[in-house]
Amino acid sequence: MFFNGTNNEHVLYRAFPTYLDGVALLWFSKLSAGSISFFEELARSFIDYFTASRTYVHGSDYLGTIRQGQHESLKDYMTRFAEATMEIPDLDPAVYLHALKTGLRPGKFWETIVVTKPKTMEEFRERVAGQIEVEELHEAQKMNRQPPRREEEKAFKLPSNKESKETFQAHTKI
């Protein structure tokens, strides 16, 4: 809020609550009358009260802590990494690419990246797109090869010889 002129505190007092809503407006309405002497005190009180709810912004060094999980798909890793980078202002593309490659779990794709050494994000994305297709194809094939569930087996299971004899003996005693 910026108002031109000197001695405009009364305008600041009046305008401040018009910019508030929700929890902030509730906080403002609970201030006791006469508890604030000047606008700077009001501003400081507001900042102090809401500091804990401020969103923490990571720096680019945080990206070095993001690693692909042992059973995490490349697609999920890329999504998680991209979400983390949204919080980092002015991220250098070279730092982004380096951290992304460093976070890959060891395996065939990692070896491909080490050998081909993509220099740009575009090159890296091309390799990633191909690998994601391969992973999704493997996953689809795995789903097609899974054996039927136990419940399905029970529905189609024929009674064993022992069960047949017990049923037959029960019916013959009647």
The range of the structural domain enclosing residue 48 comes to 9-53
Distance CA(10)–CA(36), nearest Å, equals: 12
Please check whether residues 64 and 128 belong to one and the same domain: yes
Q: Among 37, 53, 69, where does a domain finish?
A: 53
Question: Same domain for 13 and 48?
Answer: yes
Render each residue's pLDDT in the chain as its tens digit; 174 residues. 454 555 666 676 677 777 778 887 787 778 777 777 777 887 788 887 777 666 666 788 888 899 999 999 999 999 999 988 887 888 889 999 999 999 999 999 999 999 999 999 999 999 999 999 999 998 888 888 876 666 655 555 555 555 555 555 555 555
Q: Is 165 exposed, middle or buried (0-12, 13-18, 19+ CB in 10 A)?
A: exposed
Helix, coil or strand: residue 131: helix
**Is 159 part of a structural domain of the chain?**
no
- 135 within domain boundaries: yes
Q: Is 69 within the bounds of a domain?
A: yes
In a domain, 104, yes or no: yes
The structural domain count of the chain equals: 2
Same domain? For 65 and 36 the reply is: no
Main-chain phi, psi angles of 131, to 5 degrees? -70, -35
Q: Indicate the pTM of the whole model.
A: 0.53
